[in-house]
Structure 1
Amino acid sequence: MQKTTHPGIREFSVAGAEEGPYGIAAGPDDALWLTFAQSGEIARLTLDGQVSRYSAGSASCRPTVITRGPDGALWFARSDGHIGRITTGGELTEFALPDLAANPFGICAGPDGAMWFTEMSTDRIGRITVHGDISHFALPVAGAFPSFITPGPDGALWFTLNQADAIGRIDLDGEVALHSLPGGTAPVGITCGSDGALWFVGIAAGKVGRLEVDGTLREFPLAAPGAKPHAITAAPSGDCWFTQWGANRVGRITPDGHIAEYDLPTAGSEPHGIAIGPDGAAWTALEIGSVARITHDH
């Protein structure tokens, strides 16, 4: 286990501490896009720290996870029961879900040209076309709290079931399969690695997991039992980067399971979303109102 205090971290102030940010994604315009969950806004951050802010809807709409869509726009989930779409020019479109209490959270682009999302309060997976047509698929478990979702290496979508201690798989026809995890894992973030496996983080167990499509599981514990890893993203290098809001760190894991952990310079910064920027660095959203850019020596 390697621990590095100063791997090359630069922080950018982007908002007030009471505004967020929460989610982060690389856009098609060589910029980072953020959700401000507390102020109901979307922000664009250039690589040199310039910030533009746009409304995500009402001030209380609580945008969370954001991702790039197949149409060149950014798509995001809103806790008020909407899916949002914003162009790189700041034009917003809102799509209301049939159940406004559904609490959508994770969202990703699927291999079918549509966006797929989780609904934490309804135990469903949703699909929305770029034109706004919505369909739903029920999960075979209640109270599972589906969280993040990612396209897999097999043409299906993979997602975490935080309260069911499981990873789910849904194909484009809506067929669902579940892979059980050890009790007390509470998976949240998930991503597809360049090695063809699904990498996820267990917020309660303090571990990073690697799941192959055949169900083979490996787990890698973190240094701090209370690390509370939250989000994870795959880098083109083959590594995965993840946030640890309980330990105030960002971690990096290689395909063979070697973990490096980097302390963030500001105490209590609450790192949540993480993405690989257009410059190849890892960028993480800090709820204290900042974004951190992290690099390391190969």
Structure 2
Amino acid sequence: MSVEEYAVADAAAGPYALTTGPDGALWFTLVRSGRSGRIGRLVPGEEPTSHRLEPGCGPTVITPGPDGALWFTEYRADRIGRITTDGVIGEFGVPTPGCGPFGIAAGPDGALWFTETAADRIGRITVDGRITEFPLPVTGAFPSAITAGGDDGMWFTLNQSNAIGRIGMDGAITLHPLPTEAAAPVGIAAGSDGALWFAEIAAGQIGRITPGGQITEFPLPDRTARPHAVTVDADGAVWFTEWGGNRVGTITPDGSLTVHDLPTRHSEPHGITPGADGAVWTALEIGALARITRLDVTA
């Protein structure tokens, strides 16, 4: 594995999540930048740029929308944000105060779906800003990451209820408890195998759930690694970050694991995403984005 790091901010800015935009650039959240928060943009080989948000809003997760813009959650401001590729920003308040929006992803219905960590709700926002909220059948669940599955549903992690949830386009919700107690799932992504893959941050495991609810858990070599985010590259490989272990890893559908140390100590990798260049990128809380290429891949 080869790793290149690109400085995008100082260590206090907190690069957290990142995604590849429709313009081929990497877009990322700077959750703590000057206590105001920023949305950053990086084209490899060019200087990074950023766009200032309102003070204290806490931009968290960012994702491409169906309208050619990037959409993001403002965790501390209870808002959903939208930024065009030329930097025009719009913001939409979530009706429930103190809801703490966190994860966000485009759904199969042309809307964006998001989690409300502090309100036990899943939200839906149309590209023109209309919001609908769906209460979960549990309390204190801390819904976290969310992704579109291959079954026309949205799948999400319930960090404090120790479960994986699914919501259909009709609002129907199904919960699947995890076999490991207090596993605290966080990141989730749809795999090329038709299943959903997720990170169990407290258990040091990567999990896999089929659309029918069958769950398999794969312990990491370092159970204290605190796996955080999950993504799938163009070849179908599942990648994850080890926030506490300073590593990134890959896992195959049969559970074969490979982990790689990052070159800078205590870099705290968070979000991870495929780039337009064929590499995988991760956001490092020390103020950088890391570009990762696999040396074991042959044409």
TM over 0.5: yes
For residues 157 and 186 of structure 2, what CA distance do their matches in structure 1 show? 6
* 1:72 has 2:68 as partner: yes
Aligned residue pairs, count: 291
Deviation at 1:47, TM superposition (A): 2.3
Deviation at 1:213, TM superposition (A): 0.8
Match of residue 132 from structure 2: 135
| Matching of residues 256-271 of structure 1 within 5 Å | 256-271=254-269
Match of residue 56 from structure 2: 60
Q: Which amino acid aligns with 2:210?
A: E
Match of residue 11 from structure 2: 17
Q: Which amino acid aligns with 1:42?
A: I
| Matching of residues 192-211 of structure 1 within 5 Å | 192-211=190-209
For residues 257 and 32 of structure 1, what CA distance do their matches in structure 2 show? 29
For residues 195 and 225 of structure 1, what CA distance do their matches in structure 2 show? 25
Contact map agreement 1:166 1:178 (CA 8 A) in 2: yes
Deviation at 1:257, TM superposition (A): 1.6
For residues 271 and 189 of structure 2, what CA distance do their matches in structure 1 show? 12
Q: Which amino acid aligns with 1:8?
A: S
Q: Which amino acid aligns with 2:264?
A: T
Deviations 1:26-68 (A, max 9, x none): 001111000000021001100225311112x213111000000
Indicate which of 171, 188, 191 corresponds to 1:190.
188
Match of residue 102 from structure 1: 99
For residues 194 and 46 of structure 2, what CA distance do their matches in structure 1 show? 34
* 1:175 has 2:172 as partner: yes
Q: Which amino acid aligns with 2:9?
A: A
Match of residue 231 from structure 1: 229
Q: Which amino acid aligns with 2:217?
A: E
Deviation at 1:218, TM superposition (A): 1.2
* 1:36 has 2:10 as partner: no
* 1:8 has 2:19 as partner: no
For residues 173 and 4 of structure 2, what CA distance do their matches in structure 1 show? 42
What is the TM-score with the length of structure 1 in the denominator? 0.96
For residues 19 and 273 of structure 2, what CA distance do their matches in structure 1 show? 5
Structure 1 gap ranges (5+): 1-6
* 1:117 has 2:111 as partner: no
Between the aligned residues of both structures, percent identity stands at 57
Deviations 1:94-153 (A, max 9, x none): 101112311000000000000000000000000000000000000000000000000011
Deviations 1:261-292 (A, max 9, x none): 11111111111011000011110000110010
Of 94-103 and 168-177, more deviation after overlay is shown by 94-103
Structure 2 gap ranges (5+): none
For residues 181 and 73 of structure 1, what CA distance do their matches in structure 2 show? 35
Please state whether the residue corresponding to 2:15 is helix, strand or coil. Answer: coil
For residues 50 and 97 of structure 2, what CA distance do their matches in structure 1 show? 25
For residues 221 and 235 of structure 2, what CA distance do their matches in structure 1 show? 23
Q: Which amino acid aligns with 1:122?
A: A
Please state whether the residue corresponding to 1:169 is helix, strand or coil. Answer: strand
Match of residue 253 from structure 1: 251
Q: Which amino acid aligns with 1:36?
A: L
For residues 244 and 202 of structure 1, what CA distance do their matches in structure 2 show? 10
* Regions of 4+ moved over 4 Å: none
Contact map agreement 1:117 1:125 (CA 8 A) in 2: yes
Match of residue 289 from structure 2: 291
Contact map agreement 1:102 1:120 (CA 8 A) in 2: yes
Provide the aligned C-alpha RMSD in A: 0.8
What is the TM-score with the length of structure 2 in the denominator? 0.96
Of 179-188 and 45-54, more deviation after overlay is shown by 45-54
Q: Which amino acid aligns with 1:58?
A: E
Deviations 1:211-250 (A, max 9, x none): 0011111111111111000000011211111110110001
Please state whether the residue corresponding to 1:22 is helix, strand or coil. Answer: strand
